[in-house]
């Protein structure tokens, strides 16, 4: 799994924790008061967090299903939300 220089494994983060850290990184980079070396390190950390969030969102999307109804409106089963 992806790790920062600090050794924190982003793969173990919840979506909410990853987003919160990513927002913090963006704020620090936007302020522009971070040394170049540190900017590069936290940017790379942000990339790892972004990829982890995308993975979690894709997994959640794959679990979402919609209920199939018959002509009378009665539930008949489930199918993928996107119809695939």
Q: Mean pLDDT, consecutive 10-residue segments, the chain of 84 residues?
A: 56 96 96 94 96 93 77 79 61
Domain boundaries, the chain: 10-80
pLDDT score, position 83: 54
- What pLDDT, on a 0 to 100 scale, did the predictor assign at position 4? 41
Instruction: Look up the pTM and report it.
Output: 0.69
Identify whether the C-beta of residue 55 lies closer than 8 Å to the C-beta of residue 79: no
Distance CA 37, CA 58 (A): 32
Rounded to 5 degrees, what are φ and ψ at 44?
-65, -40
- How far is residue 16's CA from residue 8's CA, in Å, rounded to a whole number? 16
Q: What pLDDT does 1 receive?
A: 41
């Amino acid at each position: 799994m992806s790790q920062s220089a600090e050794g924190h494994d982003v793969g173990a983060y919840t979506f909410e924790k990853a987003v919160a850290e990513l927002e913090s990184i963006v704020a620090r980079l936007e302020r522009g008061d971070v040394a170049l070396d540190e900017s590069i390190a936290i940017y790379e950390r942000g990339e790892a967090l972004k990829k982890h969030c995308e993975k979690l969102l894709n997994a959640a999307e794959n679990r979402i299903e919609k209920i199939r109804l018959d002509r009378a409106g009665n539930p008949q089963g489930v199918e993928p939300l996107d119809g695939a």
